[in-house]
Structure 1
Amino acid sequence: MRTRLLPALALAAALLALPTGCGRADDPPAGAAPPAGAVPAEPEPEATEAAPSAAPPDACALVSRADAERLAGTPVQEAVPVRESCTYTAPVTGPTAQVEVYVGDGAKKYLDIERDLGHEVRPLAGVGDEAHLTAEAFFIRKGAVWVAVRLMRLNDPQENREPLRSLARTVAGRM
């Protein structure tokens, strides 16, 4: 029994003598003081959070109630803001009309959907960094910010093209 015990004790002693942990042999143990005359290591740069991007513009400030009334061709009720959107609706007693304003990723997604559906999307020159016009909406990009304005009316969409173009220029100036 003694002959079997000696190799096991020798193996245990060897394992205890080996350095522990995942550090290199020349790394001092955690919390140990640096050797005399050693140059302190440069501190590792701390991870910094990315600066929050500027808040997106207020959708209701980009299209006022008066703007919405001109675009819709009828009086509209007070704005209903929800997150990065703003909606103006005509009174139930008047002609059917609604103006919707979207700011941010939702505006860009709306443009992508229009294209995916095969709707006619025309470039709108001289407005923002990029702008497009459809039969019922316009889309503007200025910097990294997208804005979409949609008009819903029960009329010939051709009647809405010039009012949409005009409001697009106004909105781009406010962005």
Structure 2
Amino acid sequence: MVMAPLALAAVLTLQGCDAIQGQDPGPTPTTDALPSPTVPAERPPGEPAQSPSEPSKSPVAAGDPCAVLTQEEAEKLADSKLDPAEPLDETCTYTGLASGPSAQVEVYVGDSARNYLDAERGIGHELSPLPGVGEEAYLEDGSVFFRASGQWISIRLVRSVPPDETREPLEDLARTVAARR
């Protein structure tokens, strides 16, 4: 989007050169004809983006991956302090502090969650059904996948511990999140 203002400046500069040489530069373009660049508003890290013209709606229903877990829930799952959430499209990542143990919690919603589940199935990872969580749920080492209120959600925990240590916390968190839907 930075190109639009640069293109306008180039056209106006060239028209000025034509006018100096006595040539008719033709019609002057207006900024209405060019796409307007959108500059994202500054917001604190971890705060989800929301258009000012959008009516307020449930963040999870709107696909906001950082609204799926609270900072406290992510830190409890990781058993470690984490940096604030970083959203990117349909994903949200809580990374471990540079001064702390290595840990990361990733959240995927919508198509991203479903694609992650399909990829895990496609490469032959063992997925165990997880009864009583949403409409459908599966657990594998370090990740849980579930569908609640028609939306797929996945939570992935990256820690240097045996998978048996993360199974119960992932199950518990999936139940908590699915119950909120």
TM-score, length basis structure 2:
0.64
State the percentage of identical aligned residues: 51
2:152 corresponds in structure 1 to 146
Match 1:126 to one of 102, 126, 132:
132
From 150, 155, 172, the equivalent of 2:161 is: 155
Number of corresponding residues: 122
Contact 1:56 1:103 in 2 (8 A): no
Shift of 1:56: 3.2
Structure 1 CA distance for aligned equivalents of residues 80 and 149 of structure 2? 33
Residue 77 (structure 1) aligns with: 83
**What is residue 68 of structure 2 aligned with on the other side?**
62
> Residue by residue, what CA displacement relative to the aligned partner does 1:94-116 show, whole Å, maximum 9, x if unpaired?
11100000110110111111111
Matched, 1:135 2:104: no
Alpha-carbon deviation of 1:58? 2.1
The AA in structure 1 aligned to 2:180 is R
Contact 1:102/1:149 (CA < 8 Å) preserved in 2? yes
1:170 and 2:176 are equivalent in the alignment: yes
Answer with 1 or 2: which has the greater Rg: 1
SS in 2 for 1:131: strand
Asked if the contact 1:131–1:140 (Cα under 8 Å) also holds between the matched residues in 2, the reply is: yes
Matches within 5 A, 1:1-80: 56-80=62-86
Q: Which TM-score applies when normalising by structure 1?
A: 0.67
C-alpha displacement of 1:143? 3.8
Q: One-letter code of the match for 2:133?
A: V
Offset at residue 57 of structure 1 (A): 3.6
Question: Structure 1 CA distance, aligned partners of 2:127 and 2:173?
Answer: 17
Give the letter for the 1:86 counterpart: C
Distance 1:81 1:168 in 2: 20
In the other structure, the counterpart of 1:96 is 102
> Mind listing any 5+ residue stretches in structure 1 that lack a counterpart?
1-53
Gaps of 5+ in 2: 1-57
